[in-house]
Structure 1
Amino acid sequence: MNKPRRAPRRQVDGVLLLDKPAGLSSNTALQVARRLFNAEKAGHTGTLDPLATGLLPLCFGEATKFAGELLDADKAYRATLKLGITTDTADAEGQVLATRPVSVTVDAFDAVLRQFLGEIDQVPPMYSALKRDGKPLYEYARQGIELERAPRRVTLHELRCLAFAGDTAEIEVACSKGTYVRTLAADIGEVLGCGAHLTALRRIRIGELGLAGAVTLEQLEGLEMTAREVCLAPADALVSKLPCAELSGQEVARVLHGQAVCWNGVPGQRWRLYGEGRFLGLASVTADGWLQPKRLLAANFAAGS
């Protein structure tokens, strides 16, 4: 019996703000969303652990050219900590290593949080995707191998307690890229003297993007294709923090041929390029005052500008 033929993949362009559920890897969530849009090309902007929920921007088609823009962006999370118990993964999925009594007041907890504000050094966890000799650290950890890891400097811009009840605390943290909230939870527990691990994590912001307008996979599945496409933001949503350059028709023509245009800007500064209200791509200012295109949308060439 012949299997039904799958419809050809479609050219879909845009950014989907997905509210990822717990228990699903970022790649699995991406593949489900790609299937729902029947998209030809898709990618994500940085992973979330399966345990975590929340904001996972997914890029389709031309938007994938700008997916890397969010890798260096600051992020914000809400996290739930369980005090008194440490695990080998620093989260609820790991094996319990130790249990200690908890005698912590909310004032003491707040005081410890203040110690972590600003620049701190974090030792990446063994259960992470960081690679050593081409192999992720978590593969070594699963074999019972503990490797020495160099501390990394990260920045906690905001850290506050949202709720506190005995041995459970909920915090909100705004941080630089590369921050492990699992490690932060464990480190907070050690300073408190009772240990702690992460039981829930929700990402609420990446750069300028937040959960407002984010959709779940279940919501997408309940929509017709035309309604799903309404959920997509344009590609320039990923670069909204960059200054905007409105180009004349002549300048657009030069840019689309890879040529620079004269520009009054700070050398090295990057700009979003627009022509007649249409997003063209990105450019950066050269040392001698020219705006040099770096990454352009292919659709603009097809438009014959």
Structure 2
Amino acid sequence: MGRRKKGRKLSGWLVLDKPYDFGSTEAVSRLRWFAGAQKAGHAGTLDPLATGILPIAFGEATKTVPYVQDGRKAYRFTARWGIATTTDDTEGDITRRSDVRPDRAGIEAVLPEFTGTVSQRPPAFSAIKVDGERAYDLARDGEKVVLEARDIEVDRLTLLEAGEDEAVFEAVTGKGTYVRALVRDIAERLGTCGHVTALRRTAVGPFTEDDAVTMEEATGHPASIKLAPEDRDEARIDSVLIGTGEGLREHPQAPITPQDAFRMRHGQDAVLPPVQAKAVRGEQSGDIEPVLATLDGEPVAICRLEGLRLQPIKVFQLEA
């Protein structure tokens, strides 16, 4: 028999409004410990110096993490013109200066070039692996790191404010986009250099600021306070969790019968009535994935719909 995991079988999402100067892994570790949970993970790293939406999954909700990570992300950020840094944000050393300061008209004129499918070279200080090593570890050791450019998707890029030295933007992007690199490239296109001075993520997949709680709301203590065992309050964490299936609320859902739920939990397919299959598919054609199969509103399985056949991909365990 395998070793029994420590902790309780807690499932659901906690959408954290991550504070400044606090790492994503550190946030997950603290909340998992505070909740006494067996299993936890997050849906998309947020830089320590960034704030905003960090969705944290507990237990069965971790099965929906890949779908949340693949969702669109929204950011609000500030670019500082005339200074480039090693990290493309305020954490790094200054590498270059420029006296060029773009105006609003100049900035707005180039934004269409950074909307749609855009080729982007990730920052040297990133979590991308190079020969098994994180790029930021190599860069900190003084090695020259030049990562290959890759295509990203920028759905929307809007200039909100334009001052002499700084500009504030909002963006909606796809998976794998680095805002730091976006600012670096916009600055270069404008004939200057730049870096990010403030970054806030306002949405990840289905989760927005309306879903978010602060570390203090979740634990009763600010992130700056080191917690002791007597500070634990499992009921407090439970009160701010949202349902496991909420990670898939942007995707189609298929209510199923108790008999179909039983079959799915044993790895078997369900066959939907044609009218229901059409309703689940909506305007989409062909096979679709993911579809969330539910029983009385509770998640049963993440599925693929092929014709009328609903095929389970990941089945949620029943809560004890």
Q: CA–CA distance in 1 between the matches of 2:67 and 2:289?
A: 14
Distance of aligned partners of 1:236 and 1:165 in 2 relative to their CA distance in 1, 3 Å threshold: same
After TM superposition, give the deviation of residue 267 of structure 1 in Å.
2.3
What is residue 270 of structure 1 aligned with on the other side? 290
Q: Secondary structure at the match of 1:294?
A: strand
What is residue 8 of structure 2 aligned with on the other side? 10
Q: CA–CA distance in 1 between the matches of 2:237 and 2:147?
A: 44
Q: CA–CA distance in 1 between the matches of 2:158 and 2:255?
A: 40
What is residue 255 of structure 2 aligned with on the other side? 246
After TM superposition, give the deviation of residue 268 of structure 1 in Å.
4.2
What is residue 207 of structure 1 aligned with on the other side? 205
Question: Residue type matched to 1:144 in 2?
Answer: G
Q: CA–CA distance in 1 between the matches of 2:256 and 2:68?
A: 25
Does the 8 A contact of 1:159 with 1:172 survive in 2? Answer: yes
Distance of aligned partners of 1:259 and 1:160 in 2 relative to their CA distance in 1, 3 Å threshold: same
1:32-111 matches, cutoff 5 A:
32-111=30-109
Taking structure 2 as the reference length, what is the TM-score of the superposition? 0.87
Does the 8 A contact of 2:115 with 2:153 survive in 1? Answer: yes
Q: CA–CA distance in 2 between the matches of 1:144 and 1:234?
A: 45
What is residue 164 of structure 1 aligned with on the other side? 162
After TM superposition, give the deviation of residue 23 of structure 1 in Å.
0.8
Does the 8 A contact of 1:281 with 1:295 survive in 2? Answer: yes
- The worse-fitting range, judged by mean Cα deviation, of 250-259 and 130-139 is 250-259
After TM superposition, give the deviation of residue 70 of structure 1 in Å.
1.6
Q: Secondary structure at the match of 2:210?
A: coil
Would you identify which runs of 4 or more consecutive aligned residues in structure 1 move more than 6 Å? none
What is residue 264 of structure 2 aligned with on the other side? 255
Residues 1:232 and 2:241 are matched in the alignment = yes
Question: Residue type matched to 1:243 in 2?
Answer: P
Q: CA–CA distance in 2 between the matches of 1:145 and 1:85?
A: 22
Does the 8 A contact of 1:17 with 1:215 survive in 2? Answer: yes
What is residue 297 of structure 1 aligned with on the other side? 316
What is residue 26 of structure 2 aligned with on the other side? 28
Distance of aligned partners of 1:100 and 1:58 in 2 relative to their CA distance in 1, 3 Å threshold: same
Residues 1:122 and 2:117 are matched in the alignment = no
Question: Residue type matched to 1:281 in 2?
Answer: A
Q: CA–CA distance in 2 between the matches of 1:284 and 1:103?
A: 51
After TM superposition, give the deviation of residue 136 of structure 1 in Å.
0.9
Deviations 1:27-72 (A, max 9, x none): 1011111122122211111211111110000011111121121221
After TM superposition, give the deviation of residue 289 of structure 1 in Å.
4.0
* RMSD across aligned positions (CA): 1.7
**Structure 2 gaps, min length 5:** 1-5, 222-232, 278-285
Question: Residue type matched to 1:299 in 2?
Answer: L
**Structure 1 gaps, min length 5:** 1-7
What is residue 173 of structure 1 aligned with on the other side? 171
What is residue 140 of structure 2 aligned with on the other side? 142
- The worse-fitting range, judged by mean Cα deviation, of 236-245 and 258-267 is 258-267
Count of residues in Structure 1 that have an aligned counterpart in Structure 2: 293
Taking structure 1 as the reference length, what is the TM-score of the superposition? 0.91
Residues 1:184 and 2:193 are matched in the alignment = no
Identity %: 36
Does the 8 A contact of 1:88 with 1:97 survive in 2? Answer: yes
After TM superposition, give the deviation of residue 285 of structure 1 in Å.
2.2
After TM superposition, give the deviation of residue 143 of structure 1 in Å.
2.6
Does the 8 A contact of 1:267 with 1:289 survive in 2? Answer: no
Deviations 1:3-41 (A, max 9, x none): xxxxx7222111000000111110101111112212221
